[in-house]
């Protein structure tokens, strides 16, 4: 019983966009109150989770779709912060790939008008950062391995991940 309750269910919006993952209790509440319905994504999603109570068995689909409009919370791109930059860059120097002695580097130095923005701050090891000094990557002969980006809306990120994993499941079949 407790293991079953650790299951999660993917919630889709009324317009079929994957929104989030909720725990099974929350999903059951949405289903029994009529705020959501089972969503069939084809054979790979035919799996259901059975929840037994003393008097009945509830069959909960792994994907549900809201039948009510989804109210979106206001979201803004968060301010640049060290923890998120390191996470985005997978704790890897964006110039040489080193994972040691990491610092944050302004791609265009502040002295040359570079700003504290997501696309101008990358993870760099001390060696590359020193080599770059107050110059641009080109001046130091360094090349960025990836183009630094700002975090995307959590729903967009969730949807991208959901479809990536869904596709993987389909391919494994
Ligand atoms: Zn480096």
Does the reported pTM lie above 0.85?
Answer: no
Residue 115 CA, ligand 1 centroid: distance in Å: 21
Question: What span, in angstroms and rounded, lies between the C-alpha atoms of 140 and 95?
Answer: 11
Q: What percent of the chain has pLDDT over 70?
A: 96
Over residues 58-80, the mean pLDDT reads 87
Residue 66 CA, ligand 1 centroid: distance in Å: 47
Residue 96 CB partners (closer than 8 Å, separation 6+): 125, 127, 128, 142
What's the pLDDT tens digit per position in 8-23? Answer: 999 999 988 899 999 9
Which residues of the chain are in CATH 1.10.30.50 domains? Answer: 82-140
The predicted pLDDT at position 49 comes to 83
pLDDT confidence tier of residue 43, bands split at 50, 70 and 90: low
Query: Which of 30, 22, 20 has the alpha carbon at shortest distance from 5?
Result: 22
Residue 78 CA, ligand 1 centroid: distance in Å: 26
How far are the Cα atoms of 108, 133, 142, 165, 168 from residue 139, in angstroms, in the given order? 11, 10, 8, 41, 42
Residue 56 CA, ligand 1 centroid: distance in Å: 60
Residue 4, token pair as written in the block: 């079953």
Residue 108 CA, ligand 1 centroid: distance in Å: 16
- For the chain, give the mean pLDDT: 89
Query: Out of 3.40.50.300, 3.40.50.720, 1.10.30.50, 3.40.190.80, which CATH number does the structure's domain 82-140 have?
Result: 1.10.30.50
Residue 100, token pair as written in the block: 């040691």
The protein residues having their C-beta less than 5 angstroms from ligand 1 (an ion) are 93, 95-96, 98, 125, 128
- DSSP string covering 67-118: SSPPPPPP--PPPP-HHHHHHHTTT--TTT---SSEEEEESS-GGGT--SST
């Amino acid at each position: 019983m407790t293991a079953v309750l650790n299951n999660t269910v993917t919630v889709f919006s009324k317009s079929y966009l994957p929104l989030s993952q909720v725990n099974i209790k929350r999903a059951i509440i949405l289903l029994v109150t009529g705020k959501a319905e089972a969503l069939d994504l084809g054979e790979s999603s035919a799996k259901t989770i059975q929840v037994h109570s003393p008097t009945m068995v509830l069959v909960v689909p792994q994907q549900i779709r809201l039948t009510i409009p989804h109210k979106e919370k206001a979201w803004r791109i968060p301010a640049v912060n060290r923890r998120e930059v390191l996470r985005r860059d997978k704790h890897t120097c964006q110039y040489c790939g080193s994972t040691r002695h990491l610092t944050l580097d302004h791609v265009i130095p502040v002295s040359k008008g570079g700003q504290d923005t997501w696309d101008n701050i990358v993870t760099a090891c001390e060696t590359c950062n020193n080599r770059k000094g107050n110059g641009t990557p080109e001046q130091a002969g360094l090349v960025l391995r990836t183009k630094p980006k700002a975090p995307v809306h959590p729903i967009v990120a969730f949807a991208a991940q959901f479809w990536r994993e869904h596709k993987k499941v389909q391919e494994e079949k």
